């Protein structure tokens, strides 16, 4: 094992730190409920309906798939750094553009800036560290992707209370809460560019520090020929599917369905978290903003905890727990008039919502391999966009202006509970017929 083929462990830790910084910046998108509440409250110059106030966030989540689809393919071709740099730049500029909105007639600016540009740039930047880090940490795929996307969940922890403090402390911001986006967008741009600047893929022949080449996970060379596998210390998919091959398997669609159900259920609460806390449990505006910020901790922690737990109990069992527990908490939360109980149930929803994002990348790699993981998982995130559009629109329609929280969260809770059966149907696919690996299996 040469020094050239095995970078020091510190290098990959620096790249991990950069990935978390990027995810913190783009993960601030989940603080939207703090902004929507300020936009709907007095003395805001906006007079939007509940549905209208969810549109920028809904469009942002819907656009994420476009970004992850292109970002996954581009990073496989161009490398992670340029894609991430472009992504955080577009995302930040979109947030800055949203700061120009001043009233109902400028709703289109919020949708274009926060929604279209913000969501697209977010998707470009989001997919890069997930695929990149699985190549740097093949020995800890579940845990390390959980940490990376955990940063995304933690983004709202910083943004939500900060934004609420800025709005409450300035009468001009109370009238036009969107002015806060200018300073936030600049901060996101600086943090995102710093983090993305250290991104790179491991060199050819990379071996995990502390492992010998003889015991390292089998890798494929650039010609696609499979190397010998002897005593691999970590789970490695037996075959690296291309994106086209993965799309021809039912397993790819089952994983997308799992993500779609989890996002639909979880983001329904995320999009109305501040308003629900106020109307159901009697939180003040400041208390609701604090809740949203603290819940970001659980969103981030859930990505790490469930990802690490899935390494021990199995991916399918983890997803059953994620969907089932999330659904039960959603059924209970419209009845949680006690502040402590509301916090507990909200934390459980956020833990499970984040857990799906932490567990799915390693599940996709278990099923389809890591060589084309950027393109495969990037396309898989269409489930995020589908659920991100359906969830907020469904819950805002069900809850309505008369605040029918019991009806709304009962419906989405039942969807999540019913969806807990889907993971039992998902098993790793066999290599496609005609592949070299399939012939080798047949020969044995």
pLDDT tens per residue across span 413-430: 999 999 999 999 988 888
pLDDT digits (tens, 9 = 90+) for 138-163: 777 777 777 877 788 788 778 888 88
Which CATH number characterizes residue 71's domain?
A: 1.20.1250.20
Residue 119 lies in a domain: yes
pLDDT at 336: 93
* CB burial string 385-409: b at 16+ within 10 A, e below: bbbbbbbbbbbbebbeeebebeebb
Show the low-confidence residues of the chain (pLDDT under 50).
1-8, 213-234, 438-444
In which element (H, E) is residue 329 found?
Answer: helix 315-332
pLDDT at 260: 96
pLDDT at 434: 64
Q: Token pair for residue 365?
A: 């790699």
Burial class (CB in 10 A: 0-12, 13-18, 19+), 221: exposed
Residue 173 lies in a domain: yes
Reference 369, options 256, 260, 243; nearest CA is 243
> How many Å apart are CA 100 and CA 358, to the nearest integer?
35
Number of domains making up the chain? 1
pLDDT at 223: 34
Residue 331 lies in a domain: yes
pLDDT at 112: 95
Residue 151 lies in a domain: yes
Residue 33 lies in a domain: yes
pLDDT at 437: 54
pLDDT at 119: 93
Residue 313 lies in a domain: yes
pLDDT at 440: 41
* Residue span of the structural domain in which 23 resides: 9-202+239-443
pLDDT at 323: 97
pLDDT at 226: 36
pLDDT at 9: 54
H-only helix segments in 99-179: 107-110, 118-136, 141-168, 171-175
Residue 217 lies in a domain: no
Whether the Cβ atoms of residue 22 and residue 155 lie closer than 8 Å to each other? no
Reference 154, options 394, 336, 357, 428; nearest CA is 357
pLDDT at 215: 45
Residue 221 lies in a domain: no
> How many Å apart are CA 293 and CA 206, to the nearest integer?
39
Instruction: Enter the pTM of the model.
Output: 0.73
Q: Token pair for residue 295?
A: 């819940």
Q: Token pair for residue 306?
A: 């469930």
Strands (E), 231-291: none
């Amino acid at each position: 094992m040469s020094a050239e083929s095995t970078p020091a462990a510190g290098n990959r830790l620096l790249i991990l730190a950069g990935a978390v910084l990027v995810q913190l910046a783009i993960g601030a998108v989940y603080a939207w409920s703090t902004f929507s509440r300020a936009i709907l409250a007095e003395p805001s110059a906006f007079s939007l309906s509940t549905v209208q106030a969810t549109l920028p966030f809904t469009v942002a989540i819907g656009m994420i798939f476009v970004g992850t689809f292109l970002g996954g393919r581009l990073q496989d071709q161009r490398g992670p750094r340029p894609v991430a740099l472009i992504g955080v730049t577009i995302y930040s500029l979109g947030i800055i553009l949203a700061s120009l909105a001043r009233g109902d007639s400028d709703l289109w600016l919020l949708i274009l800036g926060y929604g279209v540009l913000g969501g697209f740039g977010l998707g470009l930047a989001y997919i890069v560290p997930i695929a990149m880090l699985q190549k740097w940490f093949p020995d800890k795929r579940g845990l390390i992707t959980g940490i990376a996307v955990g940063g995304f969940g933690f983004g709202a922890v910083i943004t939500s209370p900060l934004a609420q403090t800025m709005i409450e402390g300035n009468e001009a911001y109370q009238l036009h809460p969107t002015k806060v986006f200018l300073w936030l967008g600049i901060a996101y741009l600086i943090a995102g560019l710093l983090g993305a600047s250290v991104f790179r893929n491991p060199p050819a022949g990379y071996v995990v520090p502390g492992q010998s080449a003889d015991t390292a996970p089998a890798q494929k060379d650039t010609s696609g020929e499979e190397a010998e596998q002897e005593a691999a210390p970590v789970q490695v998919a037996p075959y690296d599917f291309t994106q086209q091959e993965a799309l021809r398997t039912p397993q790819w669609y089952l994983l997308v369905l799992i993500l779609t159900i989890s996002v639909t259920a979880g983001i329904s609460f995320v999009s109305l978290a501040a308003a629900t806390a106020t109307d159901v449990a009697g939180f003040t505006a400041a208390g609701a903003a604090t809740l949203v910020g603290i819940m970001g901790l659980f969103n981030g922690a859930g990505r790490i905890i469930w990802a690490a737990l899935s390494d021990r109990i199995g991916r399918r069992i983890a997803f059953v727990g994620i969907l089932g527990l999330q659904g039960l908490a959603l059924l209970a939360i419209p009845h949680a008039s006690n502040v402590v109980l509301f916090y507990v149930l909200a934390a459980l929803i956020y833990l499970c919502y984040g857990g799906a994002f932490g567990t799915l990348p390693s599940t996709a790699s278990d099923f389809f391999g890591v060589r084309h993981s950027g393109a495969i998982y990037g396309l898989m995130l269409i489930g995020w966009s589908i659920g991100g559009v359906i969830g907020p629109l469904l819950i805002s329609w069900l809850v309505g202006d008369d605040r029918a929280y019991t009806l709304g969260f009962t419906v989405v809770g039942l969807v999540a509970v019913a969806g807990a059966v889907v993971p039992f149907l998902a098993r790793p696919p066999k290599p496609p017929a005609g592949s070299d690996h399939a012939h080798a299996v047949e020969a044995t």
